[in-house]
Structure 1
Amino acid sequence: MIKAKLKSIYKNIKRNALEKEMWQIAIRKRDGDTLYQGNRKGFRLVSNSIRYWRADPFLYEKDDKTFLFAELFDRFEDKGVLAVAKVSKNGRVGHFKVCLDMPFHLSYPCLFEKEGSLYMIPEGRQSGEISIYRCVDFPLKWEKDRVLFSTTGVDTTPVPQELCGDNEAFITTVNTEQDHNNNLYLIQADSLTKIKYNDTCVRCGGYFINDKEKWLRVVQDDTDYYGCRLVFNEVRSISSVSIDESEYLSVLPPGQSNGQNEISVSLTNSKEESKFVGIHTYNKSSKFEVIDLVRHDSRTWKVWAANRIKKKRKK
């Protein structure tokens, strides 16, 4: 049993050694304007571990404390789990603890409150379902509450009532051979309807944002490659047949030139900036902002990990 497990881990390490991307979270304290208001400076990287890289950050505040939920991609198991860490008042992120682990890949731990309870609607497309989980013991214990819709939904996000009316609504993309996240769907009243067609810039990248009487939608742009940039779209209305939105601001990874209505994020450690080539999530709380960035992995950890596994197998 142990040898079989080690063999599986080693196989996953070898497969992941061929991957070019590794995601990493960055955080900053809110001070003045936000990212979508043009303030691009001061994001500090949160270190990955040998076993996990981290992406899809979401912030939640409870009892004057800030918690960071995220995907942890397990390089040994070759899948994502969801985890949470406390954020100190100065923005230091503590140790991540796994809060949801399934036999299939999990990511995008999108949280929302309803009638006094806290829910999570993560991406678990390999299960063939969009499922909602209810928190029964914050922040580590979650139970499956219901299946929202049976489809391979990706990055499902709740829609504010101001945009969709009193009925609960969500937007999502679908990942199939025929529909690779290029169409946007509205889920409402047990129905799934397409509201935006054939666009490589529709997939959600965080919560809706209410900014000075306008609504912004965080969108991943996959036009050139996965996560090439992040876009804030101004949303004017959402109906059962369409979404009326237009690009408000485009955000590029560090070190890229800025154009009209376009900025690139800046890190506290400028030496790291040239390593990053993409960005695909933004969220905020009253005290912090978080993003995730993708870099080309030097794969130093993979050499270290592979050697460790080889030594264990020889014992």
Structure 2
Amino acid sequence: MLANYTLTVTGCNSLLEGIHKASVSDGCVELIFTKDGETIRKASLAADRRSLSRSLQMTHEKIERICSRLGIKESDLEYDRSPLSKADKLIYKLLFLKKMLFETFIPTQWVIVYKKAHEIKWHKIIPDSTLFQADPFVVFKDDKYYVFYEELKFEDYRGYLCAAELDIENNRLINDKVILDFDYHLSFPNVFLENGTYYMIPESEENNSVDLFECTSFPYKWKKKKTLIEKVGAVDTTPLKINDIWYLFTSEGQTAADYNDELTIYKSADLLNSPFQKLYDEPVITDVTKARMAGNFIQKNGELIRVSQDCAKRYGHQVQLNKVIQIENGYIEEPLETITPTQGAIGIHTYNQDHDLIIADMEIARFDIYSLKRFVGGNLRRIFEIIKDTVIRNKGS
């Protein structure tokens, strides 16, 4: 007897209704694959609330990728492939207008925030409106807090990495210097200590590599030590050492996999002298609410905590803390806590701590003249170009 494979999309039998439901509810597109009534695979991805066709394309790609992993064809799945009603299409257009208004007329900026472990309120460090600062990592050394972070100027939108001291008394970063600046985008300067030496694994997805840097003079001098993984577009790579075994948790961009919805683990017997290989053939998580890394692992009360991003509503929406139960022989974790943006912020996507300090980043609204001119003016130009290109294509068709 042939197996009966079915698919539900955000609780719906209809693909487009499921995508529409996720978009209206600000949730994610949830895919549940069943075989003879038993759930065999779950996955989720973010809906594109500006484009129904884009959401449909991404969902189709994800379905085909999951089917390939299951060893079946997309045509083997039973689900409703009928189009949306006119009313639902109208609602999607209204969502598009809402999204465009928000993204066009509300300029935002990522800033570094921090607090002591016993505090509730975050302290914000607001940089000049011509740039943003994000992805902070903190190291407590010689009674000082050193912050490593991404800085990006809006004029060219290419990230570079900086180091600074945190002056808590005056709520500012001091002695700040650029430590890594290449002709490609850098971010997420993941700094860690191994055998008395500080190392860093920054995000260098644009260079198609995962690289390791060694600190030669703390905190400002760094040199490339080696490439850990070649020919891979990976973001927010985070190391973990357990019983002398090294793991790299990362998210790879590929067909049917957005950087935000899949997590892959690599393994090596030696950080410096052995190659990293995938621990599993498939991603261990395919879930946009918790896949992408958001900071270093946390050891607390005997528990190992993985810090991840929840990008279901949008990139950088909130942070999830997850208790790691098992890494080998099948990865297992369970949710612990959700960290949401507060004090008027609209996003948070990095969360780290050392000693008694917690550091993060938050996305805030900025309404100064420069920000309004940069954000609104630039977006209006892009919208005009999109409309112009659409008109030209329609005339040619």
Tell whether the structures are fold-level matches, with TM greater than 0.5.
yes
Interval containing the TM-score (normalised by the shorter chain): 0.7 to 0.9
Q: Which residue of 1 aligns with 2:250?
A: 172
Give the helix-richer structure, 1 or 2. 2
CA deviations 1:204-244 (Å, max 9, x no partner) are 111111111111111100011111111100111112x6321
- Separation in 2, partners of 1:218, 1:300: 36
8 Å CA contact 1:57–1:283 kept in 2: the answer is yes
Between the aligned partners of 1:30 and 1:113, the Cα distance in structure 2 is 21
1:287-306 C-alpha deviation (Å, 9 max, x unpaired): 31111111234362246789
Matched, 1:79 2:158: yes
- State how far apart, in whole Å, the 1-side matches of 2:325 and 2:374 are: 50
Q: Normalization by structure 2: what TM-score?
A: 0.61
Deviations 1:101-150 (Å, cap 9, x if unpaired)? 11111110101122221100010100000111111121111111111102
Q: Are 1:17 and 1:299, in contact at CA under 8 Å, matched by a contact in 2?
A: no
Q: Which amino acid aligns with 2:137?
A: F
* Residue 152 (1) aligns with residue 233 (2): yes
1:187 pairs with one of 244, 266, 270? 266
Which residue of structure 2 aligns with residue 23 of structure 1? 110
Cα offset, 1:160, TM superposition: 3.4
Corresponding residue of 1:57: 136
Amino acid aligned to 1:292:
D
Matches within 5 A, 1:1-315: 20-31=107-118, 41-88=120-167, 90=169, 92-95=171-174, 96-150=176-230, 151-161=232-242, 165-181=243-259, 182-189=261-268, 190-192=276-278, 193=280, 194-200=282-288, 201-239=290-328, 242-254=330-342, 273-274=343-344, 276-298=345-367, 300-302=369-371
Letter in 2 for 1:145: K
Aligned partner letter, 2:296: Y
CA contact (8 A) 2:322 2:333 kept: yes
One-letter code of the match for 1:249? E
Q: Distance in 2 between matches of 1:121 and 1:248?
A: 26
Tell me: CA distance 1:301–1:138, structure 2 relative to 1, closer, same or farther (3 Å): same
SS of residue paired to 1:83: strand
Tell me the distance in 2 between the aligned counterparts of 1:203 and 1:91. Answer: 33
CA pair 99-19 structure 1, distance change in 2 beyond 3 A? farther
C-alpha contact (below 8 Å) 1:74/1:81 kept by paired residues: no
CA distance in 2 between counterparts of 1:19 and 1:145 reads 42
Q: RMSD of the alignment, in Å? A: 2.3
CA pair 187-91 structure 1, distance change in 2 beyond 3 A: farther
Q: Higher relative contact order by CA 8 Å / sep ≥ 6: 1 or 2? A: 1
Q: 1:132 to 1:19 in 2, by over 3 A?
A: farther
Aligned partners of 1:42 and 1:53: how far apart in 2?
Answer: 21
Determine which structure has more spread, i.e. the larger CA radius of gyration.
2
Alpha-carbon distance in 2 for matches of 1:17, 1:53:
18
Check conservation: 1:29, 1:91, Cα contact below 8 A. Answer: no
Q: Residue 236 of structure 1 aligns to which amino acid in structure 2?
A: I
Q: 2:218, 2:106 → 1: CA distance? A: 35
TM-score, normalised via structure 1 length: 0.76
SS of the equivalent of 1:126 reads helix
Q: C-alpha deviations, 1:146-180, integer Å up to 9, x for none?
A: 1110211110111131xxx4222211111234321
Name 2:45's counterpart in structure 1.
none
Change (3 A) 1:135 1:225: same
Alpha-carbon separation, structure 1, partners of 2:314 and 2:373? 29
Taking a change above 3 Å as real, the CA distance of residues 19 and 128 of structure 1, as seen in their structure-2 partners, is: farther
Secondary structure at the aligned position of 1:121 is classed as: strand
Asked whether the 8 Å contact 1:59–1:67 carries over to 2, the reply is yes
